[in-house]
Amino acid sequence: MCGIAGIIRTSPNSTNSIAKSILGEMADQIIHRGPDESGIYCDEIVGFSHRRLSIIDLSSGQQPMFSPSRDISLVFNGEIFNYIELRDDLIKKGHQFITQSDTEVIIHLYQEYGLDFVQYLNGQFAIALWDSRQKRFVLVRDRVGICPLYYTNENGQLIFASEIKALKPALANGLTLCKETLDQIFTFWAPVSPNTIFENVFEVSPGQMLVIENGQLNSHKYWDWQFSQDDYLQSSESQQAEELHDLLIDATKIRLRADVPVGAYLSGGLDSSVLVAMIHHYGGVPLRTFSLNFSEAGFDEKSYQSSLIQHLQADHSHLMVKTEDIAQNFKQTIYQTETPILRTAPVPMGMLSSLVRQNDFKVVLTGEGADEVLGGYDIFKEAKVRQFWAVNANSSFRPLLLKKLYPYLTLPDSGQGTYLKRFFGEALEQPDDICFSHLPRWTTTAKAKRFYSQELSAELSGKSKDVMLRSLPEALKQMHPFNRAQYIESKSLMAGYLLTSQGDRMLAKNSVEGRFPFLDHRVIEFANKIPPKYKMKGLNEKNLLKKAMAKYLPAEIIDRHKQPYRAPDMKAMTGDYLGEELRHHLSVSEIEKNGLFDGSKVKFLMKKADSGKALSIPESQALVGILSTQVIIDQFI
Beta bridge partners of 76: 127
Q: Looking at the DSSP assignment, which residues form a beta bridge with residue 160? A: 6, 151
DSSP 66-108: E-TTSSEEEEEEEEETTHHHHHHHHHHTT---SSS-HHHHHHH
Radius of gyration (C-alpha) of the chain in whole angstroms:
24
Cβ neighbours around 142 below 10 Å, total: 28
User: Smallest Cα–Cα separation from 59: which of 37, 91, 74, 43?
Assistant: 37
> Alpha carbon of 529 to those of 36, 236, 373, 492: distances in Å?
42, 13, 11, 21
Helical axes 179-188 vs 439-446, angle rounded to 10°: 120
Residue from 2, 42, 147, 178 carrying the catalytic annotation? 2
d(CA 177, CA 340): 11
d(CA 600, CA 246): 58
Is 157 within 8 Å of 10 (Cβ atoms)?
A: yes
Examine the residue annotation and report whether 2 is marked as an active-site residue of this protein: yes
Strand order in 46-52's β-sheet? 37-42, 46-52, 3-9, 157-161, 150-154, 202-203
Single out the residue of 401, 122, 135 nearest to residue 250, CA to CA: 122
If one counts every other C-beta atom within 10 angstroms of the C-beta of residue 296, the result is: 14
Element (H, E) at 220: strand 216-221
- Contact at 8 Å (CB) between 76 and 106? yes
Positions at the binding site for L-glutamine = 102
**Known binding site: residues?**
102
In the sheet where 123-131 sits, what is the strand order?
A: 65-66, 72-80, 123-131, 136-141, 208-213, 216-221
**C-alpha to C-alpha distance for 67 and 206, rounded to whole angstroms:** 27
Residues classed as catalytic: 2
